């Protein structure tokens, strides 16, 4: 894996071809990463794959992470391998949570309507108050594609990304634009929610112990 200086050289070469494509670099615990502009991540991956002397032609892993409460909230990690040199490099793209922005807009609109009522506008119910963003009533957010983070699919560059992007979508709700068949891969199609997000509710079946059974009030059976 390139050291910290080597990462900076790669960053400079990529940015010479694609302006500001690599935002930053990180090198922690022997693992180097290029922090990518999400809108240019395909340019970076293509450069690393095709440039002589780089030739990271195998995508060994694509996975997502949820950094809540940090912002940007989500990360998509690409682990690339040059098999000739047995050398790895990581590309990381950070994505904001559009649902949080939508909720903030709705909350701000609701706060404005409540203030208007407190100032004497009793004839306008809060749910019909005018939004400050254009005059229309502020709608409540719904779990739709518009509330999910998005990034371009890299399946056309690396065929191994096909199922891995589907898993990232299934577990984290990240949309990969241009994916040939983006649907759940582990959970049922009608499953609601994204199980590996940090705010996903922890559930499960209650465990019944013998000491808790109604017919054993004194504790464990003797």
pLDDT at 148 over 60: yes
Q: Which domain holds residue 14?
A: 4-96+160-177
Say yes or no to pLDDT of 75 above 80: yes
Whether residues 88 and 105 share a domain: the answer is: no
> Do residues 166 and 85 both lie within one domain?
yes
Q: What is the pTM of this model?
A: 0.76
Query: Which residues share a beta bridge with 89?
Result: 80
Q: Are residues 8 and 111 in the same domain?
A: no
Q: Residue 76: name the closest of 86, 85, 67 by CA.
A: 67
Looking at the structure, do residues 74 and 115 belong to the same domain, yes or no?
A: no
Question: Alpha helices of 159-205 — where are they, by DSSP H?
Answer: 161-172
Percent of the chain with pLDDT over 70: 74
Q: Is residue 172 within 8 Å of residue 64, measured between CB atoms?
A: yes
Q: Are 102 and 171 contained in the same domain?
A: no
Q: How does pLDDT run across 103-118, given as a tens digit for each residue?
A: 766 665 555 555 555 5
Is 128 a member of any domain? yes
HSE at residue 92, side-chain half, CA atoms within 13 A, is 19
For residue 206, what are its two tokens?
């209650």
Lowest mean pLDDT among 44-53, 87-96, 121-130, 144-153: 121-130
Give a yes or no: residue 129 inside a domain.
yes
Same domain for 89 and 171, yes or no, is: yes
- Residue 66 lies inside a defined structural domain of this protein: yes
- Distance, CA of 49 to CA of 220 (rounded, Å): 63
Q: How confident is the model at residue 87 (pLDDT cuts 50, 70, 90)?
A: very high
Is there a single domain that holds both residue 116 and residue 104? yes
Predicted pLDDT of residue 112: 53
Q: What CATH number should be reported for the domain holding residue 10?
A: 3.30.460.80
Half-sphere exposure of 14 (CA within 13 A, CB side): 29
Q: Are residues 88 and 18 in the same domain?
A: yes
199 part of a folded domain: no
- Judge whether residue 65 has pLDDT over 90: yes
105 and 122 belong to one structural domain? yes
Q: For 193, phi and psi rounded to 5 degrees?
A: 105, 175
């Amino acid at each position: 894996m390139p050291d910290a200086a080597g990462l900076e050289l790669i960053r400079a070469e990529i940015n010479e071809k694609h302006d500001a494509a690599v935002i930053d670099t990180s090198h922690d615990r022997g693992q180097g990463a290029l922090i990518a502009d999400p809108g240019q991540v395909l340019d970076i991956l293509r450069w690393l794959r095709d440039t002589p002397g780089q030739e990271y032609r195998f995508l060994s892993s694509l996975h997502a992470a949820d950094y809540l409460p940090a912002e940007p909230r989500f990360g998509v990690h690409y682990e690339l391998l040059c098999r000739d040199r047995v050398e790895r490099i990581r590309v990381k793209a950070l994505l904001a949570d559009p649902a949080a922005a939508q909720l903030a807009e709705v909350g701000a609109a609701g706060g404005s309507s409540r203030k208007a009522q407190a100032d004497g506008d009793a004839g306008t119910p809060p749910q019909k108050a005018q939004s400050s963003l254009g005059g229309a009533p502020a709608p409540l957010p719904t779990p739709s594609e518009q509330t999910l983070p998005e990034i371009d699919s890299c399946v056309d560059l690396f065929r191994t990304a096909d199922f891995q992007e589907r898993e990232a979508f299934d577990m984290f709700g990240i949309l990969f634009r241009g994916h040939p068949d983006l649907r759940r891969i582990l959970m049922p199609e009608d499953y609601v929610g994204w199980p590996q997000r940090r705010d996903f509710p922890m559930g499960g079946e209650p465990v019944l112990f013998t000491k808790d059974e109604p017919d054993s009030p004194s504790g464990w059976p003797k």
